[in-house]
Structure 1
């Protein structure tokens, strides 16, 4: 069931009849609505569509991956609110409700989030004419663990489909740009967010999986231009995640811009009311105009 509690915007199923890498379970999706709408145990991944007016439309689009430690999605805080901001800039935005690896409805836990992110980019390209977007101006944005998913997509967009492909699934899943907010990037124990790592890979993961999902190790010249925001006092996701990823991007001559703020902690979203930290979206908009 698609829950209509979020908004009046269109919500589309990410997959057709069969969700790949899934299995039957009695598990139910959980939605809590307190100060933030949080979704856990995602059963049916979706895209919620936010389109600017045709007159303001720039042709750019972005898939937004909310964070939540790979255990839940901060759906409005790092999804809907961000999508609405993009619309004010003439940019179409799509909030991704992706499957979380702790779900009993998933066969191979660590593959499901990336499969959903790949599918999201492919759907945007497939329906580009319908949504009045440019196939070559589609990016991905992620917050915290959603930043890990976004950076996995940006570095490993060619991850093979381990399921029967449709016409959509052969379209390129490479984002044209990437935006990372206080992202988890590495799975290596020195700087990772342990909660995200435990949820994605398990408490005692195989070292090959740790290497596979440490995205600073997979940057190449084909990684898309990247914009990064982090705070130096982030005690949950060390700023070294962003610093090391930035260095890897520079080493591969990928155009990148990074803003490290001295305060803000973790999970500040639009940072409304947090002095000049709340200007980070202005910096992003300046960057987007130039790429």
Structure 2
């Protein structure tokens, strides 16, 4: 019995030293901005992969690697889904676990979607949640072993659009706020955009993402605000882009235009364009050398001068 007890103790000790998951709400109870109470409830489809829609209370799940492997670098992951659903496991938790294996803290963001009736002004909620996530990570940096100057944003498809919007529309925080989280900067230190929606203009826009976020008849100023290639400045953080040439859903020109804008502004940028892969390939497991895009990403993350 003593041998068994020792074994169990050793197992539990090892388990506690291994990767951990922590889920916490983005906003204090009753203080979610741009929110109105409705009869809507969150929906979760687990048929093949996990898809989440009609998000009411946004949250984030923090995946912590073992302390021995931790690099201090953190990435907030925004799943895609055309701003109508979140591909939560395929472009979220699966990605987080891979990053953890490389010693990178990963945070999967369950952000509000503009098609929900609970939004007061639909297009505002995703960016509000992304900004809050960055601030919340920085506010908890010491507790989670994160370097506050090494916190980035990553997004897939429409999640890539959200990431590109954050990297071009961040702020330095409200120094006068009574909420210590809101005093933190929302500027990401780097951005990773995977087959991202970037432009809200024809002919390369993804009509579904545009219509779901700002509406089919949005005025030109709103479309311009949410077109990342038109919002880049020399303050935009270093960016990593991945896309497939044969993407029929979100044309590769989205990434090409973003690359040109970043390069023109003098922002460090790396781009990998693959001949095949289509849209929504996620980690691209089993897709020949496309699968190595995550290796290129890890190389890039390790090479950032921060």
Q: Distance in 2 between matches of 1:229 and 1:34?
A: 28
Following superposition, which runs of at least 4 residues in structure 1 exceed 6 angstroms of deviation?
none
Q: Is the 8 A contact 2:173 2:185 kept in 1?
A: no
- Are 2:233 and 1:220 aligned? yes
- Structure 1's 39 and 89: CA in aligned 2 closer, same or farther, altered over 3 A? same
In the other structure, the counterpart of 2:26 is 14
CA-to-aligned-CA distance 1:226-285 (integer Å, 9 cap, x gap): 000000000000001000000000001100000000000000000000000000001001
Q: Distance in 2 between matches of 1:151 and 1:166?
A: 26
Unaligned 5+ segments in structure 1 are: 1-7
The DSSP-based 3-state class of the residue aligned with 2:266 is coil
Instruction: Compute the RMSD of aligned alpha carbons.
Output: 1.5
Determine which structure has more spread, i.e. the larger CA radius of gyration: 2
Given candidates 34, 51, 62, the residue that maps to 1:49 is 62
Q: CA deviation at 1:167?
A: 2.2
In the other structure, the counterpart of 2:206 is 193
CA-to-aligned-CA distance 1:80-117 (integer Å, 9 cap, x gap): 00000010110000000000001100101111000000
In the other structure, the counterpart of 1:125 is 138
The DSSP-based 3-state class of the residue aligned with 1:286 is helix
Q: Distance in 1 between matches of 2:108 and 2:266?
A: 30
In the other structure, the counterpart of 2:75 is 62
In the other structure, the counterpart of 2:197 is 184
In the other structure, the counterpart of 1:5 is none
Unaligned 5+ segments in structure 2 are: 1-19
Given candidates 227, 234, 243, the residue that maps to 1:230 is 243
270-279 or 202-211: bigger deviation: 202-211
TM-score after normalising by structure 2: 0.90
Given candidates 189, 207, 219, the residue that maps to 2:220 is 207
- Are 2:248 and 1:250 aligned? no
In the other structure, the counterpart of 1:140 is 153
Q: Distance in 1 between matches of 2:59 and 2:101?
A: 23
TM-score after normalising by structure 1: 0.95
Q: Is the 8 A contact 2:172 2:186 kept in 1?
A: no
Q: Distance in 2 between matches of 1:202 and 1:137?
A: 35
The DSSP-based 3-state class of the residue aligned with 2:131 is helix
Q: CA deviation at 1:35?
A: 1.3
Q: Distance in 2 between matches of 1:193 and 1:165?
A: 40
Number of residue equivalences = 283
